[in-house]
Amino acid sequence: MDDALAGRMKELAGNLIENYKKSGISIRFTDHDGAIEIVYRDRAEPYHLKPLEALYGRANGPSVDEMDGAYMPLLLCIEEEIVRYDQKQEPLTDAAVALALRELSSNPERPSSDELARSIQTVLRLNLSLNDYSRQEVRQALRKIEKSVMRHKDGSRGYLEFIREFVGQPG
């Protein structure tokens, strides 16, 4: 967790970090190298996210259970980024998503040449800056989503169509 980022957001939001969307704070990604802007009211403050390896916390349990609400922020940030990436880039295929997830699940912090993998790494950096997940939990979440890709594969975009319905249009 990044106490400096969490502290700054709490300071801006008057201790509403748990529900920062209601506070009017938003995060704008400026690149895949961890540069973000914290947007609040009429100003934007630059901030640089720490690398993944500096953000891992302690394990919350023996395994990531998608039914456990504690893991929803982790799972949703990955799936929302897949949908967001699919909307802003050339359309993805399930195979490309599975490949990026497989690469990340073996070593989430390894630099990647895959644009989707780098995009997922960036949202993981933000998520881990504000939440306490271990490296093992991140790897398990990536594997669970990869399994979901394989389970919902129907043609070249079965998972992507399924997840778009489930996640909706990320903001």
Residues 6+ apart with CB under 8 A from 49: 2, 5, 34, 35, 36, 122, 125, 126, 129
In whole angstroms, what is the distance from residue 41 CA to residue 33 CA? 25
What's the pTM? Answer: 0.86
Is 125 within 8 Å of 119 (Cβ atoms)?
no
Task: Report pLDDT digits (tens) over 77-117.
Answer: 999 999 999 998 778 999 999 999 999 999 999 999 999 99
Task: Report pLDDT digits (tens) over 108-151.
Answer: 999 999 999 999 999 999 999 999 999 999 999 999 999 999 99
Token readout for 40 is 């609040």
